[in-house]
Structure 1
Amino acid sequence: MVESNDWVEYSAKDGRKYYYNKATKKTTWEKPDELKTKEEKATPWKEYVAKGGRKYWHNTVTKETTWDMPDELKKGPQQPAQPQKPVLPTKTNFATKEEAEDAFMKMLEAEGVESNWEWEQTMRAVINHPLYRCLKTLSERKEAFGKYITQKKAIEEKEYLAKAKERREKFYEMLNEVTITEYTRYNKVAKLKADHPAMNAVTDLKERLEFFEDYMGDYHEKIKERRQKSFELIKQATESILLDLPNIQVGTRWDDVKKHLFEADEIKKLVDDAKVNNPVEEYFAKISILKAFAMSMERLDKEDYEKRREAEKQNYRKERVNRDNYRELLREHLSAGNIAPVTTWAEFYPLVKSDLRYTNILGQKGSSPLEMFWDEVELLNEEVYDCRKRLESDLKAAGIRISHTESLDGLKEILKSSRIKVQIPDNVLPYVHEQLIIKAQRKYQDEVDRKERHKKRLLDDFKYELRDLSPPLTPESTWEDEKKRISKMKIYREIDDEDSAMLIFTKVIDRIKESSRRKHSRSEPRTSEHRSSSKRPKSGENKEPLDEEKSDCQMEEGEEPQ
């Protein structure tokens, strides 16, 4: 084991030597400059050991690699190739700082100062050199040393990149000699070219993998471009063949056309051309035919969809026009008064059944003519209701009451009043008037019925008060005789209807006469019973009027009980 500074030399199992830096933890197959002899540094040839222990040499200048030892190395260490050193100036005093700095940097190069040296190491190596003091101060020397190290590293970096480029090119040339497919792996190439100089020239496994992956990346890209070009040609040929085939339509299956496609001369030629590059390409060419067929069917399907969509759009526009025309027809009849809030379809249908605006809408999607008719009727009812409610509010605020006999012209005059704010369309006003009259008539009839019921109650009470008169009425009593006494009764004055009062009086007298006849016809006197039955029932007792009184005082049909 050889050790120098931080570098340590080791031997691998196959006999090859490698080097490890304890400080940087770097491992390399290439011998570091710190371990090289002056003779090794002087020659551009570098020695390597391939797997199996066989040595080969590589010239870093000419980029030549050989299994045979170069002649200049055969001469031995007595005649090493002398490295070219910069010509140093003989003087130590310079007119300018730039000249002194240039001389100092040439001195560093001549003394073999490396790019990884520190100032202390450099100073120990050159402190006794005459040109060390061409720069007067320590800071100037350190500044020049820094520039030298920067330039040195830049040169080494450039050289490293050039060497890496050369190694990459040689590595690519080696890979070109191998039958490569898109599925080739590095391990296979490493076994096939284990002893190849280009393989052994790349001592770092990471760098080898990088070169291989970059090469395969370029290879895959070329394959992709080639296959894409092949696919475009196959696609054009497939579409052309499909257009010439009969019965090609949406829904055509692959099984129906694949025989025609594969037997076509143009397709056969494209498949054969693909096979020339690589047998695997034949498979991709056939897959491309299937893919091209699928794309053609997709295009046909899309075209068919667009046609159907356009037809649907046109039909939709046509149906919309038909609906608009039918609505216009409804509005015409609405303005003409043929559609009222209570109009039925049976009444309206005969008016439109022969109109094209009606017949054109039949069978369309969406609302039917009947539904649209009811929509108009409903809208009319809503408008009439809204106008009536607002008019009623204005009438109430103005203190105006609509009579059940109010005419339409009379309502129009009322609407001219400044106290009425609502504006009612002419086609709606008749229906508003109709509803107002119906409502007023209902109120009027309710009032008439209420008064009639009240009058009946008064007449009924009047009947019982007549029976309770003191002295009582007799069968011989007459209206003329009793009128003066009766007119003083409060209930008579409330009735305020002499004819109705006379009718009740007559019925009461008739009842008294009938009771008197029955009394005389019976064998037993029933005076007390007669007196009892003629009296008005007390509060809480059941009233049981006689038969003839029942018919006179019965409630009429539909009358509300009081």
Structure 2
Amino acid sequence: MSGPGTPWTEHRTPEGRPYWYHTIERRSVWEKPSELKTPRERALEATPWKEYKSGDRSYYVHNVTKESTWTLPAELKQILEQYPVDGDAAPSPSLAVASPHVGGATQSPAMARSPAASQSPYPMSQASPRHTAAASSARGPDLNSPNPLQHRGADQASGSNTPLNQPSNASRAPTSTHQSMSGSTEINFKGDKEAAEAAFIQLLRETGVDVDWTWETTMRTIITNPLYKALKTIAERKAAFNKHIDALRQQRATEAAARMESLRPAFKQLLTNDSRIKSYSSFATAKKFLSTTAVWKQAQSEEETRQVFEAVMKNLQQAEREEEAKLKNRNREMLMALLKTFEADVFTRWRDAHRTVLESQEYIDDPHLPSMDLSEMLVVFEELIRGIEKDADASRRRDLEKKRRKERQNRDEFKLVLRNLKEEGKIVARSTWGEVYPLIKDDNALLRVVGQSGSTPLDLFYDLVDELDQELERQTADALQHISKLGHEVTPTTTAEEFLTWTTTVDVPLPTLKQIHTELVSFLAAEEQRTATEARKKLERKFRHQIEDLRYAFKKCDPPLDLDADWQTVTQRMHDKDEWKQAEKEDERVPRWAWDKFVRRQKEKELESEGRKRKDLPERTKAEDAKEEAPIKRARRDDDESEPEEGEV
């Protein structure tokens, strides 16, 4: 508000906080300018006394002398009597505050006059009930409230004849009223919090507090009403306010849902009956064609209309999608059944299947199949081929499993044949395939196993022989252990009778004992021979210089020695040679070793010379020569460990 002829104009923030703007100087202030203050406000501002609250009681402090008193000072009493609150110049109660009381604590006068303190809705003193209602009515339109019920609630408050304007439901609790020192009326519910809360909510309801009101706006509207003090603390008042707002929102939501349910069938019929409205039409399109209809006008607001429209369109679109999905599944099932009648296999191509489908009478006569998309038809064909491939794979796996089972049965039958030969003694340890094959070459069990996958007949035979060999080794170890306990030893000269006598109490069959004796004697003889050979080689390495010298003498002998001559002839011709005498001096066996080595080497050289001469012979002859020369070369590698002769590498 602003006075006539003054450049100050009053405004409010979105939160409801007032401020004043100077139109000429273009500046704004939070504190009310002096030009706009009433005489009462100026007089209260000039006095050094300021009012403060302690609970529900007021006390006054002198700013200069710091004197405090519970009684109303005479100076303040005189100002209040001189400037009555219901006069023409009565200021707004919120502007007459000099020192607000917040949460039981007091603020300094400087704080009360600050912009932050100007937001506080708690006045130093409250006006009479008649003036409270009038001030509320006069100030209501300035709160930027979107709800017009605020003015109606203020009018009801100003027209009430009751001093307290008390709601009917507050009469449940005993209440008492008394006049404060500033002349306002106070209410006391005597501890009945529920009644006090009901009275406060009734005040909010009669004031017209709506869901879009803020607590600050509501507080400024109801602060001058005596029922404002029905609840004693700010927390209780704000909780009651939130409870009232939540109840209003729930009520509005319930009413809106009920209206939506009642409007939805009519809107659905309206939208489905109009051919201009499609399932993809927007709200703007529907509004353009249907805004003048009675059904459209039943909604209370455009937002409600939009919500009903979107809900109905969502249901229509869902129904269309379900219908399309149902038709799509039906077409796929029909096409799958049609493709199965063509006896397709894994080699069927899509081009041939598609042409056959298009030419079929079922496809032509069906009302929906021709509208089927080509990609959907291809998906159905691929699904059919996958099913055919799956069946083919399953059949192939069954055939493979049947084949593996049959092959396993054939191997088991052949194993049984080998076991029978073992029981008959025809397969023993160390048996060879060449010995057993003539016995089973015409057996059907062998013929069925030959050529199939898995283990061959030879593998199965060696498996059995390996088992017998392991058993024979165990029996041999038992027999030798028993002989050792008796204090005997098996040698290459041990006879079969002696061996069987020593092993009479051994749990080994007699044929096996004979076989063990034969193998042991053979093994020991071979070991003895090998030991002798090793000893000879050791001696040859020891006398290698004498042997090489004597070999050289054999080579230089004139006339040359006959390689096939007997040892007596060689001795007669060479016994006078110094090399011969030196060799015999070292060991009488050295000349013989030298002669044997000389003969062997000369024969090898002759064979090599003949091989070079027959270099151009057919391949078959060369292969035969290689076979003949191989044993000689192998023997030379095994026996000849002496130094090479002259000219040899």
TM-score range (shorter-chain normalised) is: 0.5 to 0.7
1:361 shift after superposition: 1.4
Secondary structure of residue in 2 paired with 1:402 = coil
Which residue among 298, 315, 319 is the counterpart of 2:403? 315
Structure 1 match to 2:517: 433
Q: CA contact under 8 A between 2:201 and 2:244: conserved in structure 1? A: yes
Summarize the alignment of residues 473-552 of structure 1 with structure 2, pairs less than 5 Å apart: 541=582
Return closer, same or farther for 1:228/1:39 CA change in 2, 3 Å cut-off: same
Structure 2 match to 1:105: 201
Q: Report Cα offsets for 1:13-66 as digits up to 9, x if no partner.
A: xxxxxxxxxxxxxxxxxxx98245569999xxxxxxxxxxxxxxxxxxxxxxxx
Structure 1 match to 2:548: none
Amino acid at match of 2:347: G
1:117 shift after superposition: 4.3
Q: Distance in 2 between matches of 1:7 and 1:269?
A: 73
Q: Distance in 2 between matches of 1:415 and 1:166?
A: 113
Which residue among 75, 89, 94 is the counterpart of 2:173? 94
Q: Unpaired runs of 5+ in structure 1?
A: 9-31, 43-85, 276-281, 454-506, 515-532, 545-549
1:91 shift after superposition: 7.3
Amino acid at match of 1:349: Y
1:360 shift after superposition: 2.1
Q: CA contact under 8 A between 2:335 and 2:377: conserved in structure 1? A: yes
Q: Distance in 2 between matches of 1:151 and 1:415?
A: 111
Q: CA contact under 8 A between 1:4 and 1:35: conserved in structure 2? A: no
Q: Distance in 1 between matches of 2:228 and 2:319?
A: 58
Structure 1 match to 2:438: 350
Return closer, same or farther for 1:240/1:190 CA change in 2, 3 Å cut-off: closer
Q: Distance in 1 between matches of 2:330 and 2:221?
A: 71
Which residue among 334, 352, 356 is the counterpart of 1:256? 352
Which residue among 221, 225, 238 is the counterpart of 1:125? 221
Amino acid at match of 2:410: N
Which residue among 267, 290, 309 is the counterpart of 2:363? 267
Q: CA contact under 8 A between 1:237 and 1:266: conserved in structure 2? A: no
Structure 1 match to 2:331: 234
Which residue among 189, 192, 214 is the counterpart of 2:282? 189
Return closer, same or farther for 1:359/1:410 CA change in 2, 3 Å cut-off: farther
Amino acid at match of 1:147: K
Return closer, same or farther for 1:160/1:387 CA change in 2, 3 Å cut-off: farther
Q: Report Cα offsets for 1:329-378 as digits up to 9, x if no partner.
A: 22322343323455433332221123232222122112221332234334
Structure 1 match to 2:609: none
Report the identity percentage: 23
Structure 2 match to 1:68: none
1:319 shift after superposition: 0.7
Q: Distance in 2 between matches of 1:90 and 1:402?
A: 127
Secondary structure of residue in 2 paired with 1:107 = helix
Return closer, same or farther for 1:202/1:97 CA change in 2, 3 Å cut-off: closer
Summarize the alignment of residues 326-337 of structure 1 with structure 2, pairs less than 5 Å apart: 326-337=414-425
Q: CA contact under 8 A between 1:105 and 1:144: conserved in structure 2? A: yes
Secondary structure of residue in 1 paired with 2:388 = helix
Q: Distance in 2 between matches of 1:165 and 1:33?
A: 34
Amino acid at match of 1:261: V
Return closer, same or farther for 1:447/1:138 CA change in 2, 3 Å cut-off: closer
Q: Distance in 2 between matches of 1:249 and 1:259?
A: 16
Amino acid at match of 2:524: A
Return closer, same or farther for 1:293/1:425 CA change in 2, 3 Å cut-off: farther
Amino acid at match of 1:6: P
Structure 2 match to 1:482: none
Q: Distance in 1 between matches of 2:327 and 2:525?
A: 94
1:6 aligns with 2:14: yes
Q: Distance in 2 between matches of 1:450 and 1:111?
A: 129
1:404 aligns with 2:492: yes
Q: CA contact under 8 A between 2:147 and 2:208: conserved in structure 1? A: no
Q: Report Cα offsets for 1:85-137 as digits up to 9, x if no partner.
A: x9942975635654454343222201112345455543443344454455677
Q: Unpaired runs of 5+ in structure 2?
A: 1-10, 17-142, 154-164, 175-191, 538-567, 586-590, 601-638, 641-649
TM normalised by structure 1 equals: 0.52
Amino acid at match of 2:168: P
Q: Distance in 1 between matches of 2:584 and 2:406?
A: 79
Summarize the alignment of residues 367-446 of structure 1 with structure 2, pairs less than 5 Å apart: 367-385=455-473, 388=476, 400-406=488-494, 411=499, 414-415=502-503, 430-443=514-527
Structure 2 match to 1:34: 145
1:147 aligns with 2:243: yes
Q: Distance in 2 between matches of 1:209 and 1:122?
A: 30
Return closer, same or farther for 1:300/1:223 CA change in 2, 3 Å cut-off: farther
Q: Distance in 2 between matches of 1:264 and 1:391?
A: 88
Q: Distance in 2 between matches of 1:411 and 1:534?
A: 49
Which residue among 386, 389, 392 is the counterpart of 1:301? 389
Q: Distance in 1 between matches of 2:522 and 2:368?
A: 96
Q: Distance in 1 between matches of 2:194 and 2:394?
A: 80
Summarize the alignment of residues 453-492 of structure 1 with structure 2, pairs less than 5 Å apart: none
Amino acid at match of 2:408: R
Return closer, same or farther for 1:122/1:190 CA change in 2, 3 Å cut-off: closer
Amino acid at match of 2:516: V
Return closer, same or farther for 1:319/1:104 CA change in 2, 3 Å cut-off: same
Q: CA contact under 8 A between 1:239 and 1:292: conserved in structure 2? A: yes
Q: Distance in 2 between matches of 1:220 and 1:431?
A: 95
1:427 shift after superposition: 7.8
Q: Report Cα offsets for 1:124-170 as digits up to 9, x if no partner.
A: 43344454455677776555444323323332444565677789888
Q: Distance in 1 between matches of 2:514 and 2:313?
A: 92
Q: CA contact under 8 A between 1:115 and 1:152: conserved in structure 2? A: yes
Return closer, same or farther for 1:140/1:236 CA change in 2, 3 Å cut-off: closer
1:365 aligns with 2:453: yes
Return closer, same or farther for 1:344/1:135 CA change in 2, 3 Å cut-off: closer
Amino acid at match of 1:442: A
Q: CA contact under 8 A between 1:88 and 1:106: conserved in structure 2? A: yes
